[in-house]
Amino acid sequence: MVTPEARSTTAAGGLELGGCEAGALVARYGTPLYVFDEGLIREKCRAYRAAFESRYPQVDVAYAGKAFLCLAMARLVAEEGLHLDVASAGELHTAVTAGVPPARLVMHGNNKSPVELAMALDSGVGRIVVDNLPELGLLGGLVARRPGRRPQEILIRVAPGVDPHTHRRIRTGQGDTKFGLSLAAGQAMEAVLQAVGTPHLLFTGLHAHVGSNLRDARAQVQALETILDFAVQVREETGLTLENLNLGGGLGIRYLPRDEIMPLEDFAEAITTALLEGLARRHLPLPRLMLEPGRAIVGEAGVTLYSVGTVKEVPIDEPPGTRLYAAIDGGMSDNPRPQLYDAAYTAFLANRLGEPADTEVRVAGKHCETDILIQSVALPRPRAGDILAVPSTGAYTYSMASNYNRFPRPAAVFVGNGQARLVVRRETLDDIIRQDVLAPAES
């Protein structure tokens, strides 16, 4: 991750991102600004593929588009040979427009509408991950009404009943979850049998995702044992063996310098070793292994730049008796994670890297809420006009941004080799009112 201790600086002591000076980026594109190191994203894509492909014979790595998706990101993923997982009509439309080969698209969602499923079929999506029994019937009927169309390949999403020990709002594989079909309650087997009995659907495997921002592989390995036991049951009930096994994503990143995350190579070793040994114990053939990293690909490649505005000291009851607030020109509209998940970030002043960080500061957004981006961070005493850099903001910031308080959403740029290119334009005030309607009242 980018930190004051491990970052590139210009000769004048300013922050450099992808060979571009942060101050110059701010002058050109304004703030708040999402900055992505394109080279680092590509490096992460290649590292993920290499870590698993060197340890297992058949691997598909699908980037989880929910983490960050725009046309440029979709195209980058395709250029790096990854698949892409999409979970809405908007994400699917982005992928198709960017030219991602449809066979490399994986369609997710716990409540896919008939319109979204039809769009997926018409686009030629390679795999659809079926979340529930009603969806099976709906999808089978939609394929049947397309004469001459090939059967649609599907995976059944299962809930393995594993506690991933992450924030409660990003757990997805436990028993009490909106995602997937319970193994323990028999829903998953019911879905498999229904899928196998549907002429226009081709059941080829299982999908499971236990949670996000995990620090190690323990939850995935635990889930894997349960899933492979279920694969044996599927073989006994249907005579079929799994062609595909999708273990989702979930590997976390460093948000704070002290964070400890399992290295990717160790993570891949743990997953593939457990899979190979588990298959051998159960006399199961090797399925194609599928993985869906999102945050692990793009998270640490992103830095958000803000301009500091109001700086003020307020009295508090506890020592030292005052607290210094620095307000920025963004906040929960461009990064809601601190409000949603109590997410913690660090920050530094991109234009004053050479100065001692000797002042404890609370970084506040400018929205009509408490809207605290960072509870406490050591900075040089901030001044209006400083550039605040918040690292590890590549995932779930732009993709979760809103227009709260009618804020225009920020621009996003890719940087690399001293060049910057705009990949998402900053919204304008006219964009904010573009969908509004002023019309006479209906009589």
Any idea what the CATH number is for the domain that residue 175 is in? 3.20.20.10
CB atoms within 10 A of CB 314: 9
Confidence band of 110 (pLDDT split at 50, 70, 90):
very high
Residues 340, 267: one domain?
no
Q: If you count DSSP H runs as helices and E runs as strands, how many of each does the chain have, helices first?
A: 12, 21
| pLDDT for res 439 | 86
- Residue 128 CA to residue 117 CA, distance in Å, equals 9
Tell whether 138 and 17 lie within a shared domain. no
Give the residue among 187, 234, 240, 177 at the shortest CA–CA distance from 209: 177
Answer yes or no: are the C-beta atoms of 371 and 365 closer than 8 Å. Answer: yes
- Structural domain includes residue 72: no
Helix (H) or strand (E) holding 245: strand 244-246
Active site residues: 368
> Would you say 284 and 234 are in contact if contact means Cβ atoms under 8 Å apart?
no
E-assigned strands of 25-172?
33-37, 59-64, 83-86, 105-107, 127-130, 152-159
Q: What is the DSSP string of 388-428?
A: EEEES-SSSSGGG---GGGPPPPEEEEEETTEEEEEEPPPP
Residue 170 has a pLDDT of 40
Among positive and negative, which fits the CA dihedral 66, 344, 312, 27?
A: negative
C-alpha neighbours within 13 Å on the C-beta side of residue 16: 15
Does 425 fall in a domain? Answer: yes
On whether both 284 and 379 belong to a single domain, the answer is no
What is residue 375's predicted lDDT score, i.e. its pLDDT? Answer: 97
The confidence band for 147, taking pLDDT boundaries of 50, 70 and 90, is confident
| Domain stops at, among 293, 322, 346 | 293
* pLDDT tens by residue, 347-405: 999 999 999 999 999 999 999 999 999 999 999 999 999 999 999 999 999 999 999 99
Beta bridge partners of 20: 17
Tokens read off for 80: 């790096």
Return the structure tokens found at 65: 């588009």
Q: Helix, strand or coil for residue 244? A: strand
Count of structural domains within the chain: 2
How do beta strands 20-21 and 15-17 pair?
antiparallel
253 and 178, same domain (yes or no): yes
- pLDDT at residue 148, as a whole number: 84
- Tell me, yes or no, whether 236 and 162 share the same domain: yes
Q: Is 60 within the bounds of a domain?
A: no
Q: What is the pLDDT of residues 149-172, one digit of tens each?
A: 889 999 999 998 875 444 444 444
Residues 329 and 384 both lie in one domain: yes
Percent of the chain past pLDDT 70, that is, above it, reads 94
pLDDT at position 225: 94
Q: Other C-beta atoms within 10 Å of 430: how many?
A: 8
Domain C-terminal end among 293, 315, 330: 293
* Distance, C-alpha 217 to centroid of its chain: 18
> pLDDT for 341-353, tens place per residue?
899 999 999 999 9
Binned at pLDDT 50, 70 and 90, residue 56 comes out as very high
339 and 282 together in one domain: no
Q: Do residues 73 and 398 touch, judged by C-beta distance below 8 A?
A: no
Q: Could you tell me if 235 and 327 lie in one domain? A: no
- Map residue 188 onto helix, strand or coil: helix
Q: How far apart are CA 174 and CA 81, in angstroms?
A: 32
pLDDT digit string (tens) for 301-355?
999 999 999 999 999 999 999 999 999 999 999 999 999 989 999 999 999 999 9
Segments forming the whole domain that contains residue 112: 108-293
